[in-house]
Amino acid sequence: MSRFSLSDRAFDRVNFIFVLLVTLIIIYPLIFVISASISDPHAVNSGEMWLWPVDITLDGFNRVFQNDAIWIGYRNTIVYTATGVLIHLFILLPSAYALSRKELMAKKVFLWFILFTMLFNGGLIPTYLVVKSLGMVNTMWAIVVPGVIGAWSVLVARTFFQQTIPDQLVEASKIDGASDFYLFVRVVLPLSMPIIAVMALFHAVALWNQYFNALIYLSDEKLFPLQLILRQILILNEVSADSAATAAGAAQSFSDQIKTASLVKYAVIIVSALPLLIVYPFLQRFFVKGVLIGSVKE
């Protein structure tokens, strides 16, 4: 017996160190970004700053707070995310619940109807045409509605309902004369907090971080979400020599903006990622239950 516990203790040590190492590797870039955001850009660029902040300055954050475009983007992203998540839940939960009920006829057909969309899509132009014909181009709905639910989330949520809502419960309520609607709102939803939290968070993360739809569907700068603004600040710097952007007149104001960009780079990363990073630990306790039951036990 003691022989095993000895090797077990060694195992524990090694395992602990392994997990610690992985954790450190994963959080190091984040610590770097945090430190860089309050360090003198000079120290960051020269490599002097590598872990803790050097020559602490809040200049980057000040500039972020002064930048209107970032704030407008921020507000838009919040609005899009909140609206999108609400619609997402509103469509997802009832349909997944219906699909989980064995009384539903032609369930297989409905399921395949939804599953099939995982395999095939019509491509960008046809989708764009649909969005356009619904009058959504250059409105927030183009960001919120296309992709509001996916086949995957329907399947996951459906499995969750199958696992957690006992048939007896449904039948008992029905015998008591409850309608499906009443049952769903009063009985099913209160039992489904884990899946609601998980689905809401998944969708919120996707909406918060997407930029491609915005790039395609929005042209009014006042509607741009944060990620588009970030893309301009962080990545987009390919100004080709013969593009009209640099011709005719020196590129002064443009260059000023880019200079600002290198200052605010890290601060803006933090400001943009913070809300999600703050929210998710609170939802974390739901994950295990929600994800497990939802996705695996078929």
Partner 1 sequence: MAVEQAVGHKGHSKILKSLQRNWQLYIFLLPAVVYFFIFHYIPMYGIQIAFKDYFANLGMFGSPWVGFEHFERFFDSYYFERLLKNTIILNAYNLLLFPLPIIFALSLNELKNGAFKKWSQTLTYAPHFISVVVVVGMLVAFLDPNTGLVNHVVRLLGMEPIPFLTSPDWFRHIFVWSGQWQSLGWGTIIYLAALAGVNPELHEAAKVDGATRFQRIIHINIPSILPTIIILFILNIGNFMQIGFEKVLLMQNNLNSETSDIIQTFVYETGLLQGQYSFAAAIGLFESLINIVLLITVNQIARKVSNNSLW
Partner 2 sequence: MKSKSLWSMLLLIVAAVLTLSACQSDKADSDPSSGKDDPKASKANKTGMPIVDESLDLEIFANKPAQNEDNDWNDILVWNHYRDMTNVNVKWDLVSPDALDEKRNLALGSGDLPDAFFLSSIPNTDLLRYGKQGVFLPLNDLIEEYAPNLTKIMEEDPSIKKAITFPDGNIYSMPSLIEKDFLSLRLSARPWVNEAWLKEVGMDIPETTGEFYEYLKAVKELDPAGDGKTIPYGGTVIQELIQWLSGSFGVMNRGPSNSANIDVDPKDESKVRFYATTDEYKEMLTYIHKLYDEKLIDQSIFSIEWGQFLANASNNLYGSMIFYDPIELFGEEIGGQYNSMAALEGPDGQQSYNKISSPVWVTDNLVLTSDNPNPAATVRWMDHFYSDEGAKLYYMGVEGETFEEKDGEIKYMDHILNPEGDMTFEQALVKQLTWLGSINGIIKSDYFQGGESAPQSMAAAEKIEPMVAEEIWPRFTFTEEENKVLQSAGEDIAKYVEEMRDKFITGDEDLSEWDKYVETIESMNFEEVVKVYQQAYDRYRGE
Interface ranges with partner 2 (CB under 8 A): 105-106, 109-110, 113, 125, 128-129, 132-135, 137, 215-216, 219, 221, 231-232, 236-237, 239-259, 261-262
Which amino acid is residue 202, in one-letter code?
A: F
Among 180, 189, 191, 258, binds partner 1 (CB under 8 A): 180
Q: Is 249 a residue that touches partner 1 (CB under 8 A)? A: no
Which amino acid is residue 207, in one-letter code?
A: L
Which amino acid is residue 266, in one-letter code?
A: Y
Q: Is 166 a residue that touches partner 1 (CB under 8 A)? A: no
Please say whether the beta carbons of 144 and 80 come within 8 A. Answer: yes
User: Nearer to partner 2 by C-beta: 244 or 278?
Assistant: 244
3-state secondary structure of 260: helix
Residue 258's binding partner among partner 1, partner 2, none (Cβ under 5 to 8 angstroms by kind) is partner 2
Distance in angstroms (rounded) separating the CA atoms of residues 125 and 102: 38
Residue 239's binding partner among partner 1, partner 2, none (Cβ under 5 to 8 angstroms by kind) is partner 2
Distance in angstroms (rounded) separating the CA atoms of residues 120 and 73: 32
Q: Is 239 a residue that touches partner 1 (CB under 8 A)? A: no
| Sites for partner 1 among residues 68-87 (CB under 8 A) | none
In the complex, what is the shortest distance from the CB of residue 278 to partner 2, in angstroms, rounded to a whole number?
Answer: 30
In the complex, what is the shortest distance from the CB of residue 294 to partner 1, in angstroms, rounded to a whole number?
Answer: 9
Among 83, 209, 246, 257, binds partner 1 (CB under 8 A): 209
Distance in angstroms (rounded) separating the CA atoms of residues 98 and 95: 5
Residue 132's binding partner among partner 2, partner 1, none (Cβ under 5 to 8 angstroms by kind) is partner 2
Distance in angstroms (rounded) separating the CA atoms of residues 216 and 207: 15
Residue 242's binding partner among partner 1, partner 2, none (Cβ under 5 to 8 angstroms by kind) is partner 2
User: Nearer to partner 1 by C-beta: 133 or 252?
Assistant: 133
Distance in angstroms (rounded) separating the CA atoms of residues 137 and 219: 9
Q: Is 219 a residue that touches partner 1 (CB under 8 A)? A: no
Structure-token pair, residue 141: 């709905």
Residue 246's binding partner among partner 1, partner 2, none (Cβ under 5 to 8 angstroms by kind) is partner 2
List all residues 6 or more positions away from 55 whose beta carbon is below 8 Å from its beta carbon. Answer: 39, 40, 42, 43
| Sites for partner 1 among residues 97-136 (CB under 8 A) | 97-99, 101, 103-105, 110, 113-115, 117-127, 129-130, 134
**Closest of 15, 10, 67 to residue 260, by C-alpha:** 67
Among 57, 95, 246, 257, binds partner 1 (CB under 8 A): 95
In the complex, what is the shortest distance from the CB of residue 251 to partner 1, in angstroms, rounded to a whole number?
Answer: 21
Distances (CA, A) of 74 to 34, 71, 209, 229, 274: 19, 5, 12, 9, 12
Distance in angstroms (rounded) separating the CA atoms of residues 143 and 226: 13
Structure-token pair, residue 174: 């029905």
Q: Is 289 a residue that touches partner 1 (CB under 8 A)? A: yes
In the complex, what is the shortest distance from the CB of residue 136 to partner 2, in angstroms, rounded to a whole number?
Answer: 11
Distances (CA, A) of 114 to 4, 109, 244: 52, 9, 46
Q: Is 34 a residue that touches partner 1 (CB under 8 A)? A: no
